[in-house]
Amino acid sequence: MRLTRIAITGALMALIVPLGAQAEGDPAAGRKAAETCLGCHGIKNQKNVYPTYRVPKICGQNSQYLLDALTGYANGDRPHGTMHAQAATLSEQARQDIAAYFADKAACGKGD
């Protein structure tokens, strides 16, 4: 009986912890802050000029992943000159708002 309770508690904790790990942000504020992002990430089949690669569409991506990526670009842990220049100008709240906006498939137009 005790092992069953421990197993159930562990399973519930595994479900609860990821929910709390999501970035906290306001998708409506993120929409306004993300206008510059959409210049590359909102265009279907967009390619970077040099080096040539497909720019990822980020609509519907996990908010915590987006926040971690933006933070990494801002502090230089993720190397990309353009993304660093953009992310370094954003406040922590703006990064959270942008992450929340792009994570919201309905808000950022998933499927366009």
Q: Is residue 51 part of a domain?
A: yes
Q: What is the pLDDT of residue 16?
A: 43
Q: pLDDT under 50 in the chain at which residues?
A: 3, 6-7, 9-21, 111-112
pTM above 0.95, yes or no: no
Q: Are 61 and 103 in contact (CB under 8 A)?
A: yes
Q: What is the CATH number of the domain that holds 31?
A: 1.10.760.10
d(CA 112, CA 109): 6
Q: Are 41 and 55 in contact (CB under 8 A)?
A: yes
Query: How many structural domains does the chain have?
Result: 1
Q: Is residue 70 part of a domain?
A: yes
**Which domain range does residue 104 map to?**
23-108
Q: What is the pLDDT of residue 93?
A: 96
Q: What is the pLDDT of residue 12?
A: 43
Nearest to 71 by CA among 55, 51, 93: 93
